[in-house]
Structure 1
């Protein structure tokens, strides 16, 4: 048990606790001194896992900040910055952030469950219902999968778009969490429909009706589920976050889970950091999707091969991979991944970098990144104190 790494992680979560909620980094970098939906909820899950009352209170404030700044049509802010006299709300940059909506619902429900406070659900029931209605609209064709624009989730400078696996799985998780409280036949049926569509369109050898039959039949399925598909076909990069969520939610047959676990863990073992890259393989200048990747940045290009989303390694993503492993009783592998997360976070005297170049191990992004610490806390408590996120 690495208590030093755990305590350092908790220390950083306290540093990023503000009067408005969890900010993304303790560094004085403007875009990271904001309360982000997905970052804030992931830090909030770590707060619940830790049992630290001050951190749990910061999580509550985070959720209230997001709820108070929900758009009238139901959109949850990607991020919010609150100063003494002004509030600056962003719903996304080049495109809106679909996953902010689902992470918000997950966060409300996780907080209510772990604090045993059902009134928190009641308090934000209107906001949740508006968010769920918006997700319905984002299906566009009323066939149970949401359509995500390029740049529409956490991988905001990557190539995934259309029916993105990660976003479908987050929606299933959010609906299941909410239905734990509502016990609604309508919600249960919606969950069933979405799961069926995920299994039909993303799993290999499916006999069910497909969204895009021709593209499905032309796809070379791997030992993992493809990251997305759209009218232009499937994108077959390995998405570690999405496949980890699949393991957590236990969707699909056990044979598929075994293949994902073996592929992911072998991939992690093959790298110098011992961590699974966020997306794999990297996209190079000679590859089909290079121009799509190159042009998808608002300020400066960061997705060089092996960096950021393009094959970079993130402690946060590996935290969810470790939780997925543990959900399938792979405790030894979970301990190995946690150990490697702690080693990565400890680089440069516990600088908690956002991500790393998988080839060179060079740190990338901001230091003192909150969700890098959150990953370590979540997995540590899952292993040592049997903490379980609600699914």
Structure 2
């Protein structure tokens, strides 16, 4: 039976494969008929895991498109629309997308690692170096953590801003991936410095000078890392994507990582879908940050409680949670999450919805979403065929 889910996922990636790279969805929704940095790289990682030559070629084309339209300042496009009549390059909407830069580095290096071709990485090294320098400048205070604007990453209509955990971890993954090839002492030192600052500022009872000691002292820690902090204090919601990356990158003590695993899996099993919500708990109208959430949308408001970023459940996010569980040798838990990713993707005759209302289990967003399919492929191949990424 699992082959059906896997094959349907592969089929969808073929549908979104174009000569310029992966589109975000097979549905004819204009904003999704583009080559996106984060969507494209996540689909590309699934392509590598699949071993399918056509999909791997599409991943290469995705990376070439992103590289071609890198801004002179170093920013990587959030997305690129390419038709016979026009080329439209976007570096973000209400704010620039910080994670486009890190996903690009990850994509180039994971591709080079998989095909065992240092020349491919070297070909793009000047662009990667420009990305790395740009990330350094986005620290602003030269203290090793990126400062991310509201709306500055994949959770572009959510409340995270400032020192966002997800972006710090993606940066470590990107630097680790690049350093696999170039073996730079300077980059090694930077990775160590970023890791130290994450552990000082995002884990409980840590030693070392805090960015915001007063806010840190006032935070009631749970069994996970909070999603972000800024000069105004911490936002303490659970970020499933970020905490999954922390597990994959072995950030924090073994004891604390075990607590993250247990908290995350208990949260998944407590919900009707058997999946992790992207952020938890939801923000409600009576909560402090409701107005911030309500106003952070360019078009229609979508972040009702239990939906989209505000407590909605995404196959894509759970794909990385599945990889994180597997990295901790939690085989049964990984199988459980994969089964529920497949069940969600199969809803409405394999419509591969973007996300689901965690409370009602109703689908939300765009159908035939490519990275929902990618999640199934990533976990399936890692679980059943021992596929491994470079971390």
Q: TM-score range by the shorter chain?
A: over 0.9
SS at structure 2 position matched to 1:198: helix
Q: Which residue of 2 aligns with 1:128?
A: 128
Aligned to 1:46: 46
Shift of 1:195: 0.3
In structure 2, distance between residues paired with 1:302 and 1:115: 40
Give 3-state SS (helix, strand or coil) of 2:236's partner. Answer: strand
Alpha-carbon separation, structure 1, partners of 2:224 and 2:187: 28
Q: Structure 1, residues 360-382: CA drift from partner, whole Å, max 9, x if none? A: 00000000000000000000000
TM-aligned CA deviation for residue 287 of structure 1: 0.4
| SS at structure 2 position matched to 1:229 | strand
Alpha-carbon distance in structure 2 between the residues aligned to 1:329 and 1:173 = 20
> Does residue 1:371 correspond to 2:371, yes or no?
yes
Task: Give 2:297's aligned residue.
Answer: 297
Distance 2:316 2:389 in 1: 15
Alignment correspondent of 2:236: 236
Instruction: Return the alpha-carbon distance in structure 1 between the equivalents of residues 328 and 273 of structure 2.
Output: 23
The offset of 1:86, in angstroms, is 2.0
Query: How high is the TM-score relative to the length of structure 2?
Result: 1.00
The aligned residue for residue 161 of structure 2 is 161
Aligned position for 2:93: 93
* 1:141-161, Cα deviation, whole Å (9 max, x unpaired): 000000000000000000000
What secondary structure does 1:284 align onto?
A: coil
What's the CA shift for 1:19?
1.5
Q: 1:72 maps to which residue?
A: 72
* Match of residue 13 from structure 1: 13
- Corresponding residue of 1:57: 57
Deviation per residue, 1:330-361 (Å, 9 max, x gap):
00000000000000000001000000000000
| Counterpart for residue 202 of structure 1 | 202
Following the alignment from structure 2 to structure 1, what is the Cα–Cα distance between the partners of residues 316 and 121? 27
> SS in structure 1 opposite 2:38?
helix
The 3-state SS of whatever aligns with 1:372 is helix
1:349 aligns with: 349
Q: Number of matched residues?
A: 391
The residue aligned with 1:111 is 111
| Map of 2:254 onto structure 1 | 254
Partners of 1:82 and 1:358 in 2: CA distance:
35
SS in 2 for 1:277: coil
CA RMSD of the aligned region, Å?
0.5
Q: Distance in 2 between matches of 1:74 and 1:197?
A: 25
User: What secondary structure sits across from 1:158 in the alignment?
Assistant: coil
Report the CA distance between 1:83 and its aligned residue.
1.0
How far off its partner does 1:304 sit? 0.1
Looking at structure 1, the residues matched to 25 and 166 of structure 2 have their Cα atoms a distance apart, in angstroms, of 24
Whole-angstrom CA distance in 2 between matches of 1:369 and 1:15? 11
**Which segments of structure 1 move beyond 3 Å, counting only runs of 4 or more?**
none
**Separation (CA, whole Å) in 1 of partners of 2:252 and 2:285:** 35
Partner of residue 26, structure 1 = 26
TM-score by length of 1: 1.00
Displacement, 1:74? Answer: 0.1
- Partner secondary structure for residue 346 of structure 2: helix
- Secondary structure class of the residue paired with 1:227: strand
Q: Displacement of 1:85 after TM fit?
A: 3.4
Unmatched tracts of structure 2, length 5 or more: none
Question: What does residue 316 of structure 2 align with?
Answer: 316
1:329 counterpart SS class: coil
Residue 273 of structure 1 corresponds to which residue in structure 2?
273
Q: Distance in 1 between matches of 2:224 and 2:59?
A: 33
Output the CA distance in 2 between the equivalents of 1:32 and 1:42: 15
Query: How far apart, CA to CA, are the structure 2 residues paired with 1:84 and 1:200?
Result: 51
